[in-house]
Amino acid sequence: MATNFSKELIVKPGHKVNLRQYDTGNTLGLEKGRAMKASLTKILEKLDKLQYLLYADHKHALLVVFQGLDAAGKDGAIRGVMSGVNPQGCRVSSFKPPSPEEAAHDFLWRVHKAVPPYGDIGIFNRSHYEDVLVVRVHNLVPKDVWTKRYAQINEFEAILDANNVRVVKFFLHISKDEQKKRFMERIDDPDKRWKISQADFNERRFWDEYTEAYEDALARCSTKRAPWFVIPADKKWFRNLAVSHIIVETLEDMRLKFPPPTIDVKKLKWR
């Protein structure tokens, strides 16, 4: 029986989340090998075709959100899953600390500007969820401000869905030991040292606080219109396989269609 990644990994709306009960090394019984490599190749080919159909249909858009702790594999997942699609129809947006202009607006202002147009896939490497995560952990805004943002985020995503922008959200879930391992690999590899900073190690002190913040975000903001998926991310091959399958399943559920030709092709004349 084929694995239904969406069904297995979704955060059911209205359910509490305890991330300690999620196995970061879970592979749903699948094993790494030639079969899984072939399966990934096949699903990526399907993704490429669906992206073409999305562009031709031009009535819908897909927004893919990636969140996770440092070294969870956001960049790797984006590179591994989206490398085969047409770059003209796929844009990646990263959200760092807001600029003075962005800080002068509501927290969703810069996010809405980055929402993909119809026909495109938009990818958020970190997102509007930073405003209920890092701001909460580091007390950057008062509690009575960030607690209201869950409802505002749900309303925002509902507006997108009502306007044919489908939202799918991935939390890449790694263990603390795996994060340390990846940090050390970066230190040992001269080509990757640029990716590591003291701040990365400092943030490990807030592991429990971030875990609690993510649990609330996942529980409060996984909706039927914009679901969250917890992706076990200790094994990179499974991470990419699961994410690619869920994106394909989401695009298939959109029931995209090729538009009719704008001319009668039977009446075309060659000169």
Domain ranges of the chain: 18-254
CATH second-level architecture of 18-254?
3-Layer(aba) Sandwich (3.40)
Q: What is the pTM of this model?
A: 0.95
| Inter-CA distances, 190 with 71, 72, 185, 197, Å | 17, 20, 10, 14
pLDDT tens for the 271 residues of the chain, in order: 478 999 999 999 999 999 999 999 999 999 999 999 999 999 999 999 999 999 999 999 999 999 999 999 999 999 999 887 888 899 999 999 999 999 999 999 999 999 999 999 999 999 999 999 999 999 999 999 999 999 999 999 999 999 999 999 999 999 999 999 999 999 999 988 888 888 888 999 999 999 999 999 999 999 999 999 999 999 999 999 999 999 999 999 999 999 988 887 777 777 7
Give the chain as a 3 state SS string: CCCCHHHHHECCCCCCCCHHHCCCCCCCCCCCCHHHHHHHHHHHHHHHHHHHHHHHHCCCEEEEEEEECCCCCHHHHHHHHHCCCCHHHEEEEECCCCCHHHHCCCCCHHHHHCCCCCCCEEEEECCHHHHHCHHHHCCCCCHHHHCCHHHHHHHHHHHHHHCCEEEEEEEEECCHHHHHHHHHHHHHCCCCHHHCCHHHHHHHHHHHHHHHHHHHHHHHHCCCCCCEEEEECCCHHHHHHHHHHHHHHHHHHCCCCCCCCCCCHHHCCCC
